[in-house]
Structure 1
Amino acid sequence: MVRLLVPVESRQADNQSPLRISDTWQLLGPFQIGTREGSWGADPLEYHGGFRNLQYDPDTTFRTSLATNGVAKWSKVQAAQTDVTSNSTKASLSVGYDNVNWDFLKVVYGWAAVQYQAWARGELVVSGNKTQQVVLHTDAIIEYWIDDVHYFGGDAYTFRKAPPVLSLTPGAHKVDIRLWRDVRAFGGINDPTIDVLIEARLTSGTLELATPGILISDVVDGQLASPHASVIVRNGGSDDVEITSIRSIESDSPAAINSSGITVIAGQTRPISFSVTLPGKNASSIHYIISYRVIGHGTQSHVLGVSQQLTKGSIYNAHKFTFLHPGGVVSYAMLRPPAKNVTCEGVSAFPVLVANHGAGVEVSDPMAAHVFDALPDLCAWVLLPSGVTPWSGDDWHNWGFTDLEAAVASIPHWIEDVSWGGPGVDVDRWIMTGHSNGGQGTWYGMTHRPDRLIAAAPLSGYSSIQKYVPYELWQPADPRRTAILSASLNSYRHEILLENLKGIPVLQQHGEIDDNVPTYHSRFLGQQLFQAGANSTYNEVPGQNHWWDGIMTTDPLKKFFRSQATSDVTIPRKLDEFSFIIGDPGDMGPKGGIRVLQLEDPGQYGKVHVKGHVLTTTNVLSLEIDIKTLGSASLSIDADELSADEALTIITKGDSGRWSVGEIPNINEAIKHRRGRQLGTMTAILRTKGPFIIRHHGSHTIHTALQVSRNFHQYFYADSVIASSNSTDDNGRGNTVTVVEGHDVPPGLHENFPISISASTVSVTDSKGRIRKYGGASDVGAIYLRPLEDERLELVVWGSSAEALSRAARLVPMMTGVGQPDFVILGDSAAWRGVEGALALGFFDHWWAVTTSSVVS
């Protein structure tokens, strides 16, 4: 039985409104779903043809593992709130189930038990006699259908950055919503309800601001902290537009746009970055005009105005400064330089105290920006990176950690921009801290950049994605498949990487009664640190929950930060004996001057043990060694005696298993040699050095290309260029997503690549040289990485049909913890079986060959 948890509120009546969302919704559920499993499909109603093809019938039953008698039935629920205005309508639903014993399930399965799914159906009605352009916000909703059109991605965290633009004819339009309860977003303590909101709003029918205002630096002592600025626009019309210039109304000269020929296709949202100057020292706001033309409608220019109030303050207080993320977007961080009168004997260049925020936190908010005000005399630069988004895009891992590093690297530019005359900065010496998700990000920083860390203080952080909300209640799957999914997350399982922390002082802190991130995580990691021989102190604060005033500056933390900021330890540290473990060389920095460049099998961990100049390795193919840090040019690696010939020497294991100085042979065949930013799993596509290029093949794939673009922007605030297959748009820097349906996939640059696709068949060459074929008579989808020049990547997303393409596209990286390996071939049963419906999946090695650990059957 479904219960309504929030009373129905009154609704504004406006008979003239062209939009209305139905008050009554049809509901079907609940069904089980595992942590982050939804990206793999795992919808049991797909076994019945999909919810979109089912008709309401309260007498029809469906099998479920959750409800009493193992039965799910149709029911109806009223919208908890429906508002109608002259140009918008919205409805919120709060759904829960009384016929599930949630408490007992939690006793057995923990928080994983209160992750479940259901479906709801309502209508969006367009009145009048003309087609309307409508923006649809889907707060806390990831997947839905509008009539017969599928949308995956939605807005799980209510960012409201990149909603779709719908062209709706007069009449009723069916809205099918997959209600998907995610513990990390909804919580695991209170009643397991699913609370969502839908809002439909008329667009302007042309270019408009997607979010109000301009992302701009604060003004400190009369000058901008940085010249980088950004405005987010959305094309709410049905024709593509080209932005021709951005101009200050106070100046005759146009601003410098960081990209040329900016096209925003119909329905797309894009961030536009440009350079700004103050119109005057006493200015309180800035005003810019965006000029654009509608493509295919002549040269007539249209304008869109945007303004922003300026925030002013002292250069010595925490303030916002902007910089360019490597992905080509403008990001920001909060920076507090050393205090005016602070003196630290013998230190001319201060380290950087990097503090990562928790999930959902905007670091420009006063509560976050001023968390270190109680520690004003620190001999360090205090930096609070944004991670680009309030959720740090991907939990401070790939995209978010790149933002952190870009923010640190931008401090010297800030020094130049504001003519700073105080202490210098050493951008290679970090003290890391962070709270909650930021505490987890601190563990990531410690394990992945140990040679930059003076010390670290993770606060109330979880140990790994899988331990925070356990990966129970997934659909059953062959252990070979789940092993590959698990291996795809190797780089984020910090409890396995703690040997990398040897030599780094660590102060852990956690509230004793934390009901958000269980104290178990810090206790567990403290135990593992001790067993790894690392230097750790654990402070559990009695009577405190997840957050309290002063959490970042408790007395033990103040003492720790002050002592570590003045530490004279040499970075990187010279250690006589240590070990380090590598999950993904693409995101792992050096330890003790030694960096692993490649693994033999990227689906398994690599390990290096160092004692003096003697190295022992496991699953390692090539190394880069800083001889100065190691302290010896004579090396012994797995009993092979070598002599380094340069200060920074590359050493590679050959086919015979013997080590030699130099890179892998045939390096002139660079496209065949996987390395650098190409390493890792499918999330390596996020290591773009410019806007993504999403190339669609045929008008029928534009919808999927737009969806990928929306998800990149929604979850990472990233920028994408959407181009057709015959377009030459390529910035030469950004990674590419190729979208194809029902046609041959164009050949890549690697002439012997192990995956090839015809109009309906996927061929995969396995590790033994055998060719396996999939598809033909049945639908099949595929998603996989391919190499481009200059360490760039292409992500191919293909389906033999629209539905197969949709199944593949949902695995484009969007949320952490999904576990996407290098390639996945999906059969139609993946829609309800999830990962077990993968016909083949696995990893590519250093020559882009399928590894032996992959599943190709």
Structure 2
Amino acid sequence: MRHGHCWNLLLCVTLHLGYVAAGISQGVLSADDTLHHGPIAFLSSWDVLGPFRVGTREAVWGADPIEFHGGIQSLISNEEPLYHSPLTRGANVHWSNRTFIPIDTKTSTSVELVVDFPEVDWQFAQNVYGWSALQFQGWLKGRIWNADTGVQKVVLYPDNILELWVNEHHVFGGDFYGFQRAPVVVDLPPGLNNISVRLIRDVRSMGGTLPPVVRASLRADLALVPIDISPQSLVMPDVVGGRFCSPLGSITVRNQADSWIEVRQVSAVLAEHSVVVASDAIRLGPGQSRPVKVSLGSIEGMQEAIHFELQYSLAASGSSQVAFSAPLHHTTNSSLQKITFLHPSGVVSYAMLRPPPTTHGAAKDSVVPVLLMLHGAGVEADGSLARHMFDAAHALPAWILTPSGMTPWSSDDWHIWGFADVEAALLTVPKWIQDAAWAGPGVMAEKVLVAGHSNGGQGTWFFATHQPDRVLGAAAASGYSSIENYVPYAFWDEADPLRTGILQTARSSFRHELLTDNLVGVPIFQQHGSEDDNVPAYHSRLLNTLLAEAGQLVDYSETPGRGHWFTGTMTTPAMLDFYLGCLNGSSSVSSIPAQFSFVVPNSHELGSKYGIVIDQLTTPDRMGRVTVTTSMHDSIPRWHVTTENIRRLHFETATQLGDTPWEVVLGNMSDSFDVGVATKGSSFVKLETNVWAQEIAPEWTNIGQRYGRQRGSLDSIVRSAGPFEIVYCSEKDLPLAIQTSRNFLQYFGADSNISHRSRYEDALKREGNVITLGTGASIPPPYLPSFPIQIGAEWLSLKTKDSNTVSIPLTPGMGGIWLRPLPEQRLELVVWGYDEVGLRQAARLIPTLTGAGQPDFVVLNNETRWKGHSAAPAMGFFDYEWRISPASFLP
């Protein structure tokens, strides 16, 4: 409750002491500031500075103009100076004051932060620059009151906020999409505490409406217990006939203590006995959240809810326990149901599965395809909208599968982490058939019918362009063509064209406009509302045009008067006709045209095109291309294959083709290669002499070659085959390790082990990819001795492909981030800083938001804090032998 009477003398003294105790310069509360009864309370008065320009997803690189003035922590909000900004008249902005009324309870305080800048002519800017002009950044400075006489630990939920400071504690990552799955645990000294919030208005997440407004919120809850379990984080399968339809569940726990906690086991409390459902010990650092996997296969007789007890221990203390319950959803074996499975990283994920109808004479030994439905941004796969998306398609002869993508935003737009979730969900269907003793049709494993809406429509383009041999058909509804074509990157800081080109190259695997050749031969249907104000119909029109230019005429339905979403979007008559046409004519045998092309981005997600698989590019600086002309030579099918920027390829014999080649002529060679059964498993490699050779042995897959899950840009690190292994090199780096773990969980639903440098070798022995954080010379040496980046006492050395060494002197504020190879396709991500400032800068580039475009390595200096990528002294890629590629940017 708000309290309106005046401060008494005692409270004034307490307030003054609170300023000193919190390390905050002394000041006087304004008349608008109010006293609250709660133990913690946000003050209503906030100071605002902005707006400044910011490009789409540019904030990951820093690009904060306030850093030019020393950073938000050094600014005093009642100062008079003007700050330069290209968004306003006179090219300057100044501090202003806003009032946001908090809501307080006995254990929490919250405040909605709604900020706009009506003095800016946004309409004119949009007329020139489109949606890019409706994005901006700024800062808010406010305070939170701790009425206690001692430090209070609070759990902070920064919804729609990417970056903030709480006193001297810096938080990058925040909760940009409002998932609330991994809040921040902070200590509040008694009295007033400063909070600075960086506002980032992003059209993709906040809309393209006029006038542009940032809507964010902060909620602080008292941390009253050492360990907390979030009910909304529960992942539980549906119950069918008294048993779980899948054997796995998950719950996220959070350490709110000052010391490490070990979760020892979880038990399901049944009517007459308890069953241990998790027994592997899990360690959590102070403030860390982690998902705990539970096994449910042995539990029967489920009712409306299931009760659990979690046993844990604090460091140097005895065992304690906490109880929690999970509500259950009951359904039937033939109905839509929530199934669970393991994501390749080892965390529990889920998908919605509807088995095919058993009517219409479907034989038990017949097989039908999967209709893979990719949801849009902000949609929960088990929410009401997704659950009823195919109600009008009950007769489709298909398994309808809707993966979650691990988050409502599909983690990374269905690209790497989200794509892995799709793959795991598809593999779960045969297991469900076996476990459920399903008596209906089986599942066709070779091909899938993929469909999606909005972000899922874009995901449909990604799946079809990267896996054309697996696609029975692709239906994209209201899908955007690519990340950077959705809200263009016009407002990024000006940079050397090579630097800008490197970032574009890092995003090239997601530029579907460049990959339309891969879709030739794939049945495609497009649908878009003519009045769509979320994803303009231009995206579908553009791809339809590019497909026609590539030789693929595609059916396109633009629905007059319809917007982005309407009831029945995915089951319009035209959509249903397309599904049925693909399903009824389903065949796993592909008909091969006389000539075709295959555009090759640098991506492990890239599958085969008519059986051709690209293993390595010659250089990662540009895309590759394969062009094939088919013919008959002495009654033998022969392919003439010409390539651009391709170093290694092979033929996928498992792909069923209508006219399998027996011989292949590569490039300008006069002789042909046999690609028959006798050479199964072989690959073809282009030697330094520009001559193709055939390799039978697989020995080339070693630590010195970049292959498999290592392919791609810096975001390849998220292809982890187990929980991430985060290694911190000194105790002062532990908070950053906690933040990295929190961001992986927040934005990907990922799990992380955190270990000290002394246990680095143990981390290398486990299955997950490794992230190593440290300053100075604390970073362990590379596993590959010839790795081209070395940290010296005075220089950071980069060895080029031609063995020249570029040395960059170490200076304050300098940092870097780069991939290093580990055995068995694993990766290590080194996050290094000359000092704490440099390390914090480098850690921003650990993957969180999609579309930031991080290349394989980046070296940062002090100016990158406000100039972003335009000031990076070095950046680029590693080639197939982990050498710095020729087009990298070096001093």
Sort the TM-score into its range (normalised by shorter chain). Answer: over 0.9
TM-score (norm 1): 0.96
**Unaligned runs of at least 5 residues, structure 2:** 1-31, 631-638
Match of 1:227 in 2: 247
Match of 1:460 in 2: 478
Contact 1:279–1:286 (CA<8 Å) still a contact in 2? no
Q: What is the correspondence of 1:697-708 to structure 2 with a 5 Å cutoff? A: 697-708=729-740
Q: How far apart are the structure 1 equivalents of 2:407 and 2:232?
A: 16
Match of 2:142 in 1: 122
How many angstroms does 1:278 deviate by?
6.7
Q: What is the correspondence of 1:758-777 to structure 2 with a 5 Å cutoff? A: 758=792, 761-777=795-811
Contact 2:374–2:453 (CA<8 Å) still a contact in 1? yes
Q: What is the correspondence of 1:240-279 to structure 2 with a 5 Å cutoff? A: 240-250=260-270, 252=273, 254-257=275-278, 260-277=280-297, 279=299
Q: How far apart are the structure 2 equivalents of 1:213 and 1:720?
A: 16
Deviations for 1:121-157, whole angstroms, at most 9, x for unmatched residues? 0011211112111111101100111112211100010
How many angstroms does 1:774 deviate by?
1.9
Match of 1:7 in 2: none
Residue 839 of structure 2: SS of its match in structure 1?
Answer: helix
2:83 is aligned with 1:52: no
Residue 586 of structure 1: SS of its match in structure 2?
Answer: coil
Match of 1:6 in 2: none
Residue 161 of structure 2: SS of its match in structure 1?
Answer: coil
Match of 2:814 in 1: 780
Q: How far apart are the structure 1 equivalents of 2:326 and 2:225?
A: 24
Q: Which moved more, 1:421-430 or 1:53-62?
A: 53-62
2:506 is aligned with 1:488: yes
- 2:534 aligned residue (516, 534, 544): 516
Q: What is the correspondence of 1:90-129 to structure 2 with a 5 Å cutoff? A: 90-129=110-149
Q: How far apart are the structure 2 equivalents of 1:663 and 1:470?
A: 46
2:493 is aligned with 1:475: yes
Deviations for 1:194-221, whole angstroms, at most 9, x for unmatched residues? 1110111111341111344631111124
Residue 401 of structure 2: SS of its match in structure 1?
Answer: strand
Match of 1:643 in 2: 674
Match of 1:436 in 2: 454
Contact 1:642–1:660 (CA<8 Å) still a contact in 2? no
2:50 is aligned with 1:19: no
Counterpart residue type for residue 634 of structure 1:
E
How many angstroms does 1:587 deviate by?
1.6
2:744 is aligned with 1:712: yes
Q: What is the correspondence of 1:166-181 to structure 2 with a 5 Å cutoff? A: 166-181=186-201
RMSD: 1.9
Quickly say closer, same or farther: Cα 1:56–1:571, change in 2 above 3 A.
same
Deviations for 1:564-621, whole angstroms, at most 9, x for unmatched residues? 1121433455443211111124120011001101101112100101112111100001
Contact 1:23–1:78 (CA<8 Å) still a contact in 2? yes
Q: How far apart are the structure 1 equivalents of 2:590 and 2:858?
A: 39
Q: How far apart are the structure 2 equivalents of 1:758 and 1:153?
A: 30
Match of 1:652 in 2: 685
How many angstroms does 1:648 deviate by?
4.0
Contact 2:82–2:92 (CA<8 Å) still a contact in 1? yes
Counterpart residue type for residue 118 of structure 2:
D
- 1:562 aligned residue (576, 580, 589): 580
Counterpart residue type for residue 308 of structure 2:
Y
Match of 1:661 in 2: 694
Q: What is the correspondence of 1:689-838 to structure 2 with a 5 Å cutoff? A: 689-727=721-759, 729-730=762-763, 732-758=766-792, 761-838=795-872
Q: How far apart are the structure 1 equivalents of 2:580 and 2:33?
A: 57
Counterpart residue type for residue 399 of structure 1:
W
Q: How far apart are the structure 1 equivalents of 2:363 and 2:33?
A: 67
Match of 1:5 in 2: none
Contact 2:242–2:303 (CA<8 Å) still a contact in 1? no
Quickly say closer, same or farther: Cα 1:325–1:118, change in 2 above 3 A.
same
Aligned residues: 842
Contact 2:33–2:44 (CA<8 Å) still a contact in 1? no
Residue 722 of structure 2: SS of its match in structure 1?
Answer: coil
Match of 1:217 in 2: 237
Match of 2:633 in 1: none
Q: How far apart are the structure 2 equivalents of 1:558 and 1:225?
A: 29
How many angstroms does 1:189 deviate by?
2.1
Q: Which moved more, 1:526-535 or 1:153-162?
A: 526-535
Counterpart residue type for residue 611 of structure 2:
G
TM-score (norm 2): 0.92
Q: How far apart are the structure 1 equivalents of 2:143 and 2:47?
A: 10
Contact 2:267–2:309 (CA<8 Å) still a contact in 1? yes
Deviations for 1:648-686, whole angstroms, at most 9, x for unmatched residues? 431111111111111799737x11111000010001001
Deviations for 1:518-561, whole angstroms, at most 9, x for unmatched residues? 00000010001111112411000111000001111000111111
Q: How far apart are the structure 2 equivalents of 1:213 and 1:688?
A: 22
- 2:434 aligned residue (411, 416, 426): 416
Residue 469 of structure 2: SS of its match in structure 1?
Answer: helix
Counterpart residue type for residue 643 of structure 1:
D
Match of 1:842 in 2: 876
How many angstroms does 1:754 deviate by?
0.3
Residue 813 of structure 1: SS of its match in structure 2?
Answer: coil
Quickly say closer, same or farther: Cα 1:756–1:253, change in 2 above 3 A.
farther
How many angstroms does 1:517 deviate by?
0.1
Quickly say closer, same or farther: Cα 1:783–1:572, change in 2 above 3 A.
farther
Q: What is the correspondence of 1:349-360 to structure 2 with a 5 Å cutoff? A: 349-360=367-378
Counterpart residue type for residue 673 of structure 2:
L
Match of 1:307 in 2: 325
Residue 622 of structure 1: SS of its match in structure 2?
Answer: strand
Q: How far apart are the structure 1 equivalents of 2:721 and 2:123?
A: 47
Q: How far apart are the structure 2 equivalents of 1:283 and 1:542?
A: 48
Quickly say closer, same or farther: Cα 1:282–1:842, change in 2 above 3 A.
closer
Q: How far apart are the structure 1 equivalents of 2:410 and 2:388?
A: 19
